[in-house]
Structure formats: structure tokens, C-alpha cells
């Protein structure tokens, strides 16, 4: 009888333990990380910055941008009745008049933030610092970017163009950090937009250009 009970105990211990999980610890961690990523995308893909979200109407957006700029200002210097302010997101310095809102079918789909002007002689110092400052705000939340590129040298850039440095894809939302050549000055700019709408508008613009070219052929 004792031998019989002992055999039953061994059976349940052996086979019971074997059925606890079919996943290794590594697989469990991967599932957990994927769940966290999916949850982050679900929550964050509607958000642009602060309490500004995709799909808002222009009147509400303008009011929220005004508040955001006011909340971001820091006194640069005070000279009697004259005061000068700088505007920051963390340590990233942006232009007071450099936030541009873009709409599709009367709903917000894109926000551009222009960085403060940086003299050409500070390309290798301040410009790189500003890129790092905004990167250090975005990366801890969204992880490593989907695409990354080196900052071009001054001779590799053309005035009026901007160059992609980092890009994140968060569900339907994209975030880009770009360096813009403005002649004797440079900027570090940030764009947050719905990629599907941006791609749609690009295609429409290409079609318009093609139509213009075709109609111009009749002139000759």
C-alpha cells in the first residue's frame, strides 16, 4: 500500500510540474514586452504633444498651442521694461513662432515644431546638442527609433532643405527629428503626424505636378 501511494505521488509531482508552462522565461518576457508596446501604441498614437491630439479642430488647437508656448517660456534676460524669453521642451530650445498646425478635412493631422536658430559655426556643437536634447526626451518613452541617420556635414546640405535624423513609428503616428539648413543658420525641427494622411497628401501633390506638366506640353 505504501509503495502504491508513493507511486501516485511521484506521478503527480512529475507530470504536474511538466504542465505548468510551455514557454521559456525568454518567451514570457517577449510576450510581456509586446503587450507593453501594444498598450503604449494604443494610448499614445492619438497624442501629439501635451494635451494636443490628432483630430482636434483649429479653434481648440490654436488655444492649446498658445497655452503650451506660454507654459514653455523661460526668462532669458530682464532689462527694465523689456523682457526676453526663450522657449524649451526639456532642454530642447524651440522658436516662439515656430509651431505650425496642419489640417486635413478640418481636423489636425500634423504639428511641426521649429527649433531655435543656430549659427553655422555651432554646427558641430550646439546643433548636435539640440538633436541630443530632443532625442533624450523621446527615446526613453518610445524606445530606439525605427530609422536613424548621421547629421550631414555643412557641405552636404543645401539651403532650404531639411534632413531626417531620427524617425519613430508609433501606430498611426510618426515622429521625426530633422536638421534644416537655413543658409547661415540651422535648426533642429520636430514633426509629429499621421503617416497615412501625410502619404495621401504627397500622392495628391505628385498628381497635381504631373497634371501641370501634361497641360504645359500644349504650350509648345
Instruction: Please report the pLDDT score of residue 35 as a whole number.
Output: 52
Which residues lie below 8 Å from residue 87, measured CB to CB, with a gap of 6+?
Answer: 69, 72, 73, 74, 93, 94, 95, 96, 116
Query: CA 94 to CA 177: how far, in whole Å?
Result: 13
Q: How confident is the model at residue 7 (pLDDT cuts 50, 70, 90)?
A: low
160-to-50, 163, 183, 188 alpha-carbon distances in Å: 29, 10, 7, 13
Instruction: Please report the pLDDT score of residue 210 as a whole number.
Output: 87
Enter the pTM of the model.
Answer: 0.79
Q: How confident is the model at residue 18 (pLDDT cuts 50, 70, 90)?
A: very low
Instruction: Please report the pLDDT score of residue 132 as a whole number.
Output: 98
Torsion of CA 121, 125, 127, 131, to 10 degrees: 170
Query: CA 196 to CA 110: how far, in whole Å?
Result: 11
**Is 146 within 8 Å of 168 (Cβ atoms)?**
yes
Is the pLDDT higher at 40 or at 94?
94
Which residues lie below 8 Å from residue 200, measured CB to CB, with a gap of 6+?
Answer: 104
Is the pLDDT higher at 80 or at 109?
109
Which residues lie below 8 Å from residue 85, measured CB to CB, with a gap of 6+?
Answer: 73, 74, 75, 76, 96
Instruction: Please report the pLDDT score of residue 114 as a whole number.
Output: 98
Query: CA 202 to CA 171: how far, in whole Å?
Result: 20
Per-domain boundaries in the chain: 46-208
Q: Would the pLDDT of 15 be above 90?
A: no
- The grid coordinates listed for 35 are 503587450
Long-range contacts of 95-104 (CB under 8 A, 24+ apart): 95/187, 96/69, 98/189, 99/65, 99/68, 99/69, 101/58, 101/61, 101/62, 101/65, 102/193, 103/58, 104/197, 104/200, 104/201
Q: How confident is the model at residue 19 (pLDDT cuts 50, 70, 90)?
A: very low
Strands 162-170 and 173-181: antiparallel
Beta strands in 116-196 (DSSP E): 118-119, 147-148, 162-170, 173-181, 185-194
Amino acid at each position: 500500500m505504501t509503495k502504491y501511494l508513493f507511486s501516485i505521488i511521484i506521478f503527480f509531482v512529475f507530470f504536474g510540474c511538466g504542465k505548468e508552462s510551455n514557454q521559456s522565461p525568454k518567451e514570457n518576457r517577449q510576450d510581456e514586452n509586446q503587450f507593453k508596446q501594444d498598450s503604449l501604441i494604443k494610448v499614445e498614437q492619438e497624442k501629439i504633444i501635451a494635451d494636443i491630439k490628432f483630430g482636434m479642430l483649429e479653434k481648440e488647437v490654436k488655444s492649446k498651442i498658445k497655452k503650451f508656448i506660454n507654459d514653455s517660456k523661460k526668462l532669458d534676460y530682464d532689462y527694465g521694461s523689456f523682457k526676453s524669453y526663450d522657449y524649451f521642451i526639456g532642454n530642447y530650445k524651440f522658436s516662439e513662432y515656430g509651431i505650425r498646425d496642419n489640417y486635413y478635412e478640418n481636423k489636425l493631422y500634423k504639428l511641426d515644431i521649429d527649433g531655435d536658430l543656430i549659427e553655422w559655426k555651432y554646427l558641430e556643437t550646439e546643433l548636435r546638442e539640440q538633436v541630443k536634447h530632443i532625442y533624450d526626451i523621446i527615446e526613453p518613452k518610445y524606445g530606439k527609433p525605427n530609422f536613424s541617420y548621421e547629421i550631414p556635414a555643412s557641405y552636404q546640405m543645401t539651403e532650404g532643405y531639411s534632413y531626417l535624423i531620427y524617425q519613430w513609428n508609433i501606430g498611426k503616428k510618426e515622429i521625426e527629428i530633422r536638421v534644416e539648413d537655413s543658409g547661415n543658420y540651422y535648426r533642429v525641427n520636430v514633426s509629429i503626424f499621421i503617416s497615412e494622411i501625410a502619404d495621401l497628401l504627397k500622392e495628391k501633390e505628385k498628381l497635381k505636378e504631373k497634371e501641370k506638366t501634361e497641360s504645359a506640353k500644349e504650350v509648345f
